[in-house]
Amino acid sequence: MKSGIFNLIVRWAMIALIAFSASAVALAQNDDVYGGNQVEQLMARKRAAEDEQKRKAEAQQNAGCKIVESSRDTLIGAWHSSKNMIISKKQYESGPMEGKFIAYKVYYDKNAIANNEGKVVAMLTDDGLDILDLDMKVTIKNGGLSINGEPCGVVTRQDITIYGRRLGYFSCEATRELVAFFFLHDYLQPGELQKMKTARQEQKKREEEAAANFSANMMKVTAGNFTSVTGMVIGKIDASGDVFNKAGQRIGHVSSDGKVSSANGTVGSFNAKGMVYDKTGSPIGRIQANGSVENAGGSRIGQIYNDGNLGDRSGSHVAKFTGTGKYVAAVCYYFFFNF
């Protein structure tokens, strides 16, 4: 009897041992899922992702930033900061380098810029750079740009403007000297600087003539009607400067010295420079020589056209003055007809 019980206990113990062993094997097999190996796998994946991100960042840096010509948003080169090198979209047209892109490397230890033929084309100086093959001394001071001693533009770490024309920009920051070098050396055609200078001089002359004409006619009071866009008369100014509404009632007066008054007294004034003031003498806007009407904050609130049309802030016609004193008419329209 005792022997039978002992055998039974032994069989149960063996069954329990086998079950325990199977469970241990299962746990061991699932250790990768439920145990410490999972953490190691996650860390490995994280390291792989970080390495890939770093690789992409380095590849992007090595690819360089774009150099773009402003007027047409045309790609004209790339700056590789990791290599201190500019690669132009221009190619050598002849010689041993024929067909290859023209490139320039900056040697900061030698203060020199050389092309990929090994020829030094520019030297960096304390106040700018000398472009040797163009015999051009470029001076950069407080962002201002001078060429051979003549102030002609502005250069930043990203773009350059010469004689009022923005040539182009780098899509990332570079030194001012590098920006100036590329656009002056590789972008401008021979003689184009002189053309730009002449165009700017002609533009300034036109602006000066417009300003002189504006000043001479700003205070001129002439008779005429205000009409709506449909041609209906909505008011008028007579030869004496009296202002009338569409019903023919006198509602104010404008004098040749710039005073504007209503039946209740002075409502404002203006001067030959186009400044418009309210009754307290505070500036409320300005009429530009080009016909743009701006409020005190500099935002356009209207437009005066050469044919006497008056436009709103978008330029759309809202009224017209049939006389020739369009600036005075604009001021009166502003004060009396809610321009």
pLDDT, tens only, 224-263: 999 999 999 999 999 999 999 999 999 999 998 999 999 8
Task: Note the pTM of the prediction, 2 decimals.
Answer: 0.54
For residue 70, name the pLDDT band (cuts at 50, 70, 90): confident
Chain segment 105-116, per-residue pLDDT in tens: 999 999 999 999
Measured CA to CA in angstroms, residue 30 lies from 20, 24, 34, 43, 75 at distances of 15, 10, 6, 19, 57
Tell me, what's the pLDDT at 61? 52
pLDDT value at position 6?
Answer: 47
**Alpha-carbon gap, residue 334 to 265, rounded angstroms:** 16
pLDDT for residue 173 is more than 80: yes
pLDDT(214) > 80: yes
- Give the pLDDT confidence score for residue 270 in this predicted structure: 93
Report the distance separating Cα 321 and Cα 224, nearest Å. Answer: 6
Burial 140-149 (b: 16+ CB within 10 A, else e): beeeebbbee
The rounded distance, in Å, linking the Cα atoms of 301 and 290 is: 14
Query: pLDDT band at 34, cuts 50/70/90?
Result: very low
Cα separation values, 218 from 221, 222, 329, Å: 9, 11, 10
Going by their DSSP bridges, the two strands 259-262 and 265-270 should be labelled as antiparallel
Please state the rounded mean pLDDT for residues 5-31. 48
- pLDDT of 47 reads 82
Residue 27: CA count within 13 A, CB half-sphere: 8
Q: What is the pLDDT of residue 63?
A: 56
Indicate the range of 27-31, 72-76, 175-179, 295-299 predicted with least confidence: 27-31
DSSP 8-state class, residue 317: E
Q: Which two tokens stand for residue 13?
A: 């113990």
Q: What is the largest CA-CA distance in the chain?
A: 142
* Average of per-residue pLDDT values in the chain: 85
Q: Specify the pLDDT at position 323.
A: 87
Report which DSSP code applies to 173.
Answer: -
pLDDT in tens, 40-53: 777 788 888 887 77
Instruction: Answer yes or no: is pLDDT of 30 > 50.
Output: no
Q: Average the pLDDT over 133-148 and give the result.
A: 94
pLDDT confidence bin for 316, thresholds 50/70/90: very high
Indicate the residue type of 89: K
pLDDT at 31: 46
What span, in angstroms and rounded, lies between the C-alpha atoms of 11 and 249? 124
